[in-house]
Chain A
Amino acid sequence: MNYFIVLTLTGIAAGMIYAALALSLVIIWRATRVVNFAQGALAMTTTYIALAVIQATGSYWIGFVAALIAGLALGAIAERFLVRWVEAGPPLNAVILTLGLLLMLEAVVPMIWGAQIRSFPAPFSIAAIESGGFSIAISPFNLFTIAAVVIVVLGLFFLFRGTALGLTMRASAFAPEVSRLLGVRVGRLLALGWGLAALTGALAGMLVAPSLLLYPNNMDAILVYGFTAAVLGGLDSAVGAVIGGLAIGLALSYIGGYGGGDLESIGALVILIAILMLRPQGLFVSGPERRV
């Protein structure tokens, strides 16, 4: 029973990271109808940038902020200079383009920083908190992970629902032509959407690196988990992405805890196929059934 609680708590912490990545996929999907397969590689890149900044300045927090800013910039650049030219074309072209970006980032990063596996610092202890002789199975870093993702999710929610900027962003995703006629700078907002998504992904990369370690394709599996979470939530629903991320985090924690860690990626594959076969429209999307 105690072990079950441990797995549940660590599953929630991991789930928040998958939720952040799922959310970044959902933001881009809603803005441009593209699944950004380079999202994991972008997060890996910003985490390397964070590590370089941390080593140069000695401060985790300067590195943390640098990663988020780098994410914002890289995402906006990717949309403005690459994705914009294929958005109107066949959907397959956009997918292949993001895969090209993935391949390129995973090759260019080791050119700069080397391909060896690196450890990544955590700002708080990753050992479980002890209280009166009992271990409560969750570490200060786990709590920080949960808090950081919750803050970003609430921030994005406020941006999209509570500000004029968010309203125009939703409008330009929903009806780009009409928005353009009404004077909205749709292109800029799409770039901003990609930037915000990459920022959220960068957060996920920073939070997963202390336990996963940092190497050029360390986010491949996390991308699959995030995609599974996003599909579970319906790919169109931000709330769904967060709940989907938590569900995948818990499921993989139980699978890994009771079956062995090497089962996690296979488990994610089985879950993904099962969702796509049984409920392809996801759990949190209302309205007409989509064609997947």
Chain B
Amino acid sequence: MSLLRRGAIGIGLGAVAAIAIYGIDSIDAYRVFQISTVIYIAIAAAGLTVLTGLNGQLSLGHGALMAIGAYTTAVILLRNTDVNPALVMAAAVVSTSLLSIVVGIAAARLRGPYLAGATLGLAVGLPGVAVRFSNVFGGDAGLSVPSISTPDALGALAPEVWFAWIGLIPAVITFVLLANLVSTRYGRDFRAIREDEIAAQLHGIRIARTQVIAFVLSGACAGLAGCLMAYTANLAAPAGFPLTLSLELLAAIVIGGIGRLPGAIWGALIIVLAPDLISSFNDALHLPGGVRAQLPLALFGAVLIVAMLGFPHGIQGALDRLWWIRSRVRAAR
């Protein structure tokens, strides 16, 4: 099973890499922007799916945690534009992890709706900090983030294209680390706590500590995603981190299947590409602009509802089921 999962992750990453290798140089700037967006949404969704699916903690604050990563990036690059992107990403991960420790310690005492409510407060309240301390964080206008410069050897490559390439590196590292973590002791501990806390405790698992670890790990992914988002959008501003961002991440993991890492990639692809798909259908439908702009969010909301009513395991769940049926059919022969 876990081999199958890792295989599926490999296929998913391979598909993204293939798009990157064959397409990225020749396609227009908007596609490049979308690829970079898929990459960072997938990273954040992967972190959330581990937290929610494996450990059973539902966070509505991951959009706010992405803001921490993005603002860390912006503040560093404001002081010195030449800092190595790898160092900036590391700094974003560290700063988000530090805040996640605080939130995680509070979260470890909370269950279900209480945790969702507390992290909802985080998503609604945190952008206020950027407005309040506008001398540091630039207020409503936010802080601009310079593009990554292309190395001299690849001088012809546009900076966005170069960034879409190197964005794959942290994405691959994140997915490999998370995929391995799922099958180690920590992954088992996460699942044990989700299934039955008292039983887990009786087996010597330290509940609070494990919950905090899960939250920090997940928050670190969100921070990394926020850093990549800042580089992609060239901006860190409060308007980039509304409550709907956190809800879109939730929709991404539900579409892909909660707790399934490859599902995070499916979910991110759908979340990012859905507005485009809708516009292409729109030539036939002729919807007014206001309706078209809102249609993706309405659909994501509908997907959350329908998924909870009928398909709680998402796309990857359906795929796993297909594999399972196929292997059964083969075994029967």
Contacts and interface: CB of A to CB of B under 8 A. Distances in A.
Given A91-B112, A91-B113, A265-B125, A104 B309 contact: no
Contact of B302 (A92, A100, A114, A217): A100
Interface stretch (B65-73, B82-90, B180-188, B246-254): B246-254
Contacts of B29: none
Given A100-B303, A104-B298, A273 B254 contact: no
A227 B116 CA distance: 11
A117 to B, nearest CB: 14
A97 B250 CA distance: 11
B326 interface: no
Interface stretch (A126-134, A218-226, A237-245): A218-226
B304 A96 contact: yes
B305 A100 contact: yes
B60 A99 contact: yes
Contacts of B125: 224, 265-266, 268-269
A99 B247 contact: yes
Given A111-B290, A262-B132, A106 B297 contact: yes
B121 interface: yes
B250 A92 contact: no
Given A103-B251, A262-B132, A291-B111, A272 B121 contact: yes
Interface residues of B, number: 49
Contact of A103 (B109, B120, B244, B291): B244
B120 A217 contact: no
A100 B308 contact: yes
A147 interface: no
Interface of A: 34-35, 37, 82, 85-86, 89, 91-97, 99-108, 110-111, 114-115, 217, 220-221, 223-224, 227-228, 231, 260, 262-266, 268-269, 272-273, 276-277, 280, 291-292
26 contacts: A35-B116, A82-B305, A89-B312, A96-B58, A96-B250, A97-B304, A97-B305, A99-B116, A99-B247, A101-B305, A103-B244, A103-B247, A103-B297, A103-B298, A104-B297, A104-B298, A104-B305, A107-B296, A220-B243, A262-B128, A263-B128, A269-B121, A273-B106, A276-B109, A280-B110, A292-B114
